[in-house]
């Protein structure tokens, strides 16, 4: 919860640049190694401080990690707040979040890499809690928004809200990951695109999310009943 508990204490009294050096070293380590593989020895080496000091400042590896992740959470919240400030239209909001995500990755690539490590790693202290803090497309945050969009007739009513959130989450998460980790992107080549081309891809993605993969003419009825034909039941 309170990731800023080191805001006062010995660490806070350090010169600004020394603090920055330590944060940078720790962030680099967690971003490149994840939590478990990250080595405090590497951090103290890179930050040019002694091991004893590091543990004096943060108490434990876990404390250091929570502190660094807390900084990330702060930056995310600020970015989201700004991006979603005045978006009325549902899909415009989705697009704004996606675009904000891309900008965030460009500005704070290391923080995002650290986030991905936490997302992919199993054994990370307070993992759920931490992820919940930055995950937008959760039922909590996005459920009401979807519900409202549904009432306004912007999204179809024959699929569940959970499915809407699920598909948005899957697409956007993957898109951001593909941007941040080129080898995940199966051929989109996002990482090497110009700003303008990237925006084109974003719009292309939104077209698919809105209208699907089938050509407009071929609308294949609502789900259930006859549609299946195949199995039994």
Q: How far apart (Å, rounded) are the C-alpha atoms in residues 166 and 11?
A: 41
Is the distance from CB of 58 to CB of 14 less than 8 angstroms? no
Judged by CB under 7 A, which of 50, 157, 211, 227 binds DNA? 50
CA dihedral angle for residue 175, residue 179, residue 182, residue 184, rounded to 10 degrees: -20
Q: How far apart (Å, rounded) are the C-alpha atoms in residues 40 and 26?
A: 8
**Residue 55 binds which entry of a copy of itself, DNA, none, with Cβ cut-offs from 5 to 8 Å by kind?**
DNA
Judged by CB under 8 A, which of 15, 52, 214, 226 binds a copy of itself? 214
Judged by CB under 7 A, which of 4, 5, 19, 40 binds DNA? 40
Handedness of CA 6, 10, 15, 21 (dihedral sign): negative
**Residue 66 binds which entry of DNA, a copy of itself, none, with Cβ cut-offs from 5 to 8 Å by kind?**
none
**Residue 133 binds which entry of a copy of itself, DNA, none, with Cβ cut-offs from 5 to 8 Å by kind?**
none
Q: Using the rule CB under 8 A, is 120 a contact of a copy of itself?
A: yes
Binding range to DNA, per CB under 7 A, among 9-17, 149-157, 192-200, 204-212: 9-17
**Residue 226 binds which entry of a copy of itself, DNA, none, with Cβ cut-offs from 5 to 8 Å by kind?**
none
Judged by CB under 8 A, which of 9, 144, 160, 182 binds a copy of itself? 160
- How many residues lie near DNA (CB under 7 A)? 19
Is the distance from CB of 53 to CB of 64 less than 8 angstroms? no
DSSP string, 160-214: -HHHHHHHHHHHHHHHHHHHHSGGGSSS--GGG--HHHHHHHHHHHHHHHHH-SS
Q: Using the rule CB under 8 A, is 39 a contact of a copy of itself?
A: no
Binding residues for DNA (CB under 7 A): 10, 13-14, 38-42, 49-53, 55-57, 60-62
């Amino acid at each position: 919860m309170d990731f800023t508990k080191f805001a006062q204490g010995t660490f806070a009294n350090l010169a600004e640049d020394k603090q920055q050096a330590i944060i940078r070293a720790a962030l680099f380590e967690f971003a490149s190694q994840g939590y478990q593989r990250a080595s405090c020895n590497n951090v103290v080496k890179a930050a040019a401080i002694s091991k004893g000091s590091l543990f004096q400042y943060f108490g434990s590896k876990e404390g250091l990690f929570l502190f660094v992740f807390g900084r990330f959470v702060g930056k995310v919240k600020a970015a989201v707040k700004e991006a979603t400030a005045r978006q009325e239209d549902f899909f415009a909001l989705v697009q704004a979040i996606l675009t904000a995500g891309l900008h965030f990755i460009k500005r704070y690539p290391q923080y995002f890499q650290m986030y991905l490590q936490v997302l992919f790693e199993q054994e990370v202290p307070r993992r759920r809690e931490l992820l919940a803090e930055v995950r937008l497309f959760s039922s909590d945050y996005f459920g009401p928004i979807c519900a409202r969009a549904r009432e306004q007739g912007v999204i179809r009513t024959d699929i569940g809200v959970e499915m809407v959130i699920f598909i948005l989450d899957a697409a956007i998460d993957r898109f951001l990951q593909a941007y941040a980790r080129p080898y995940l992107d199966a051929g989109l080549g996002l990482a090497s695109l110009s700003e303008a081309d990237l925006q084109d891809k974003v719009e292309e993605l939104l077209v698919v999310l809105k209208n699907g993969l089938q050509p407009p003419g071929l609308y294949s009825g609502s789900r259930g009943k006859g549609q299946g034909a195949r199995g039994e039941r």
